[in-house]
Amino acid sequence: MMDAYIYLRKKHKLVHTSTVNCPEGLVPLDTITECLEPVLVPWDIPRPIVLARHCRDLESFGRVIFRPSDFVEPFPYDQLEVELSVRPEGISEEFFDEFF
């Protein structure tokens, strides 16, 4: 299982943040779709257009940033960011709780 941290920014300030569990082993396009699906409706934001550069960024850097030009519908924010974090195998969730 993989955690995806999703950030919505406006004027360089975080407006919304969320953590979503995504399955591992998907192609970048499916990973982006799976990660964004749970936040699009609650945050009332349109679905971005996922380009090849977004998939390359996700593979290379573990994160992807969508700007207003990546949306067909009006997007009143500065950016939507998805950042992946892979949980190590064999380490329980309680181990990470002591750091927060």
Q: In this predicted model, what pLDDT tens digit does every residue of 9-59 receive, in sequence order?
A: 999 999 999 999 888 888 889 999 999 999 999 999 999 999 999 999 998
In this structure, what CATH number is given to the domain that contains residue 18?
Answer: 3.10.20
Residue 94 lies in a domain: no
Q: Range of 43's domain?
A: 2-88
Long-range contacts of 29-34 (CB under 8 A, 24+ apart): 29/55, 31/4, 31/58, 31/84, 32/58, 32/64, 32/82
* Number of domains comprising the chain: 1
| Residue 49 DSSP one-character state | P
Indicate if the pLDDT at residue 62 is higher than 70. Answer: yes
Residue 41 lies in a domain: yes
d(CA 28, CA 50): 10
